[in-house]
Amino acid sequence: MAKPELMDFYVILFSHYGPRHWWPAETPFEVIIGAILTQNTNWKNVEKAIDNLKSEGCLDIRKIVEIRKERLEEMIRSSGFYKQKAERLQNFCRFVLNEYGSLEEMFHENTDKIRKDMLDLKGIGHETADSILLYAGGLPFFVIDEYTRRIFRRIGFRVNENYEDIRKLFEKNIPKDVGIYKEYHALIVELAKEFCRKKPLCFDCPLRNICKNNSVV
């Protein structure tokens, strides 16, 4: 039996779960807010913070820059590390307005330049930058997270800790398609939460028949 390819796993997961409709946001800017706030917390806490920003009419790039930092901190308190995250949100929004004028203009720039500029910002790492590029900008950058590392190590891929190596592995071996990139990452998250946990639940896992780490007795 031939070794399964990366697209084989995608097909199995998509058949099992169907489309995930991820990232759950109404606008590209809301995606960005969520990508920054979701660091070191769960999505329910992020949703509360985003709802607060919406109810106060502050889900706007210029309003985030203009609002008092203390007020912003209070609105996003549920996301944890709220002082740090308020600073990062304002820094990111200032960066966009000062360097590009608007999100629309930023996403029309050279993609490698955008990514490098974002990675130079304090608190914006590879996963956050690529989430913004893919889900807010519709640009083909595959998002790697700890779930991806965990699942594909167990499946049998040689996955090291270097983010860029793993990203390039995926981008080289699956079609360069934004829709597939979005769905694949979302399916990985779903699988990790339901089955491929730190202590895996292999019995009903959709990948159990082709996973080298299958712990079903």
4-46 pLDDT tens trace = 799 999 999 999 999 998 998 999 999 999 999 999 999 999 9
Count other C-beta atoms under 10 Å from residue 27's C-beta: 12
Determine the length of the chain: 217
Residue 96 in tokens: 């966009």
Confidence of residue 1 (pLDDT cuts 50, 70, 90): very low
Give the position of tokens 């519709």.
138
pLDDT at site 217: 38
pLDDT at site 156: 87
Domain 28-136, CATH class in plain words: mainly alpha
pLDDT(172) > 80: yes
pTM score of the predicted model: 0.94
From its phi and psi, is residue 162 left (phi > 0), alpha (psi between -120 and 50) or beta?
beta
57: which residues sit within 8 A by CB, 6+ positions away? 63
Confidence of residue 159 (pLDDT cuts 50, 70, 90): confident
Amino acid at 98: N
Alpha-carbon distance values, 162 to 76, 155, 158, 167, 175 (Å): 31, 18, 11, 9, 22
